[in-house]
Structure 1
Amino acid sequence: MTHTSSAPHTDADEALHAAQVVVFALATLAELRDSDTESHLLRVQNYVRALCGELQKNPAYAATLTPAYVETLVGSVPMYDMGTIGIPDRILLKPGRLTPDEIAIMRTHTTLGHDALVRAEKTLGRVSPLLTVAKELTLCHQEKWDGTGYPKGLWGEQIPLSARIVALADVFDALISNKVYKDGVSVDRAVEIITEARGSHFDPALVDAFVAVQDTFRGIAVRHADTDADMQQKIEYMANAIAEVAVL
């Protein structure tokens, strides 16, 4: 028998849910521009939750990864790539290798997303503590443990824990996911690639946690896999975008 809660939803609950729906909806539009789907966001959210669950066993991380922090982090995941909205289609959807100038423009998606949140807070007259993690994710999800990432070249624990966690989850999903212009690799190969990047791209402790829960990642990838309809949507969007660029 399925039991459901009989507690009524308060106005505050409904307001929070509505805000979460809007954030997720806007995030899926951003992901569509990058030939991704809402399934990608669901997968990354679930990967993040799995990583946090394993990291909570590590005394060095347990104090930070409280239940409230984990919920905030998971809820902030849809915003991490929002800056891609500001990247032109000719660069974002280019199937070939980007030029150095195009790479420089592409990399601005980190600062574009972060600065948009900061400006919105200033415009509305108040800094929101609940957006601290979202600002960390937008700005720092492309940083690398060894300092070779961007936009600031942060290294080690200079990189916020939130961004280190999402970076690993995002890379795993990018590796296994089929794109319009390339097929994803196998889960086994993705595990190898991430393990090889232990201490270079990724926090070693996060890689160890990932290896411990890799079967959970596999299950999430299957449960929230892109559908044929998702792939068709990506193909149609990219075809329309490329056609518009060609006209221009």
Structure 2
Amino acid sequence: MSTPSLSLMNPQGDDAQAHQVILFAVATMAELRDSDTESHLIRVQHYVRTLAQSLQSHPTFAAVLTPAYIDTLCACVPVYDLGTMSVPDRILLKPGRLSSEELSIMRTHTTNGHAALVRAEASLGRSSPLLTVAKQLTLSHHEKWDGTGYPQGLADTQIPLAARIVAVADVYDALISHKVYKDGIAHAQAVQVIVGERGKHFDPDLVDAFAKVADEFAAIAARFADTDADMQQKIEYLANAIAETAEL
């Protein structure tokens, strides 16, 4: 299976490609403030494409997961965590466990990201497939199949399919990725965690599809692994942010 590069997601001429590059640049700044690297977004895009394509033959999803829809979904991946830009550094960068108050603030990244896209859509004066999917991702990627997620406590198919797909990809990458404050776990362990959340955190059909393409996820993770430069940039950003917070 060929794997498209970031610049080829939903291409419609030079202007559209430039918009995608700008979008990725903005999303990268959001990731820089979080515990992830720029490569995280690229990996998640490829996981999402792999998982979505594996579901195209499934009777439940075939009508929705057209090639055009999958292109749109992948193009929207960079903005799913855009709302983290609204979370204060003292919470976003805290290495320890968050208090209940801090956790509530952290969770507003879903509604804040969604609200920003709603405002952008209003400025545009019309809706679009891209904005529709982007809003679904920002608002609902932390919802859980059993209804215990946030911000709306949606359950099973109440959760948009786009958000259900990204949730699997996001959690997998969070599990296997090394952070400044912790090491990632092995691929096999990550697969066990995802499979163990079948019917709880994740859509059972998506977990079954993930299990079949798990080796492709591992290959993507290896191909787009964080570099030493990625991690050094993250360490320097965190050190500077902590120093600035201490001075306040």
TM-score (norm 1): 0.94
SS at match of 2:61: helix
Q: How is 1:171-182 mapped onto 2 (pairs within 5 angstroms)?
A: 171-182=171-182
SS at match of 2:26: helix
- Are residues 1:92 and 2:92 paired? yes
Q: How is 1:203-242 mapped onto 2 (pairs within 5 angstroms)?
A: 203-242=203-242
Stretches (4+) displaced over 4 A: none
Measured on the aligned residues, the alpha-carbon RMSD in Å equals 1.1
Q: Counterparts of 1:27 and 1:167 in 2: how far apart (Å)?
A: 17
Q: Hey, what does 1:56 align to over in structure 2?
A: 56
SS at match of 1:95: coil
Deviation (angstroms), 1:192: 0.4
Q: Counterparts of 2:58 and 2:129 in 1: how far apart (Å)?
A: 26
2:173 corresponds to which letter in structure 1?
D
Q: Counterparts of 2:230 and 2:245 in 1: how far apart (Å)?
A: 23
Percent of pairs with identical residues: 68
Q: Hey, what does 1:113 align to over in structure 2?
A: 113
Q: Counterparts of 1:12 and 1:193 in 2: how far apart (Å)?
A: 39
SS at match of 1:61: coil
- Are residues 1:164 and 2:188 paired? no
1:208 corresponds to which letter in structure 2?
D
Deviation (angstroms), 1:122: 1.5
The number of aligned residues is 238
Q: Counterparts of 1:100 and 1:89 in 2: how far apart (Å)?
A: 16
2:42 corresponds to which letter in structure 1?
L
Any stretches of 5+ residues in structure 2 without a counterpart? 1-10
Q: Hey, what does 1:45 align to over in structure 2?
A: 45
Q: Counterparts of 1:92 and 1:37 in 2: how far apart (Å)?
A: 14
Any stretches of 5+ residues in structure 1 without a counterpart? 1-10
- Are residues 1:127 and 2:127 paired? yes
Matched-pair contact (CA < 8 Å) for 2:76–2:130: no
Between Structure 1 and Structure 2, whose CA radius of gyration is higher? 1
Deviation (angstroms), 1:12: 5.4
Higher mean C-alpha deviation, range 34-43 or range 196-205: 34-43
Deviations 1:51-81 (A, max 9, x none): 0111112111111000000000000000000
Q: Hey, what does 1:16 align to over in structure 2?
A: 16
2:134 corresponds to which letter in structure 1?
A
- Are residues 1:33 and 2:46 paired? no
1:198 corresponds to which letter in structure 2?
R
- Are residues 1:247 and 2:247 paired? yes
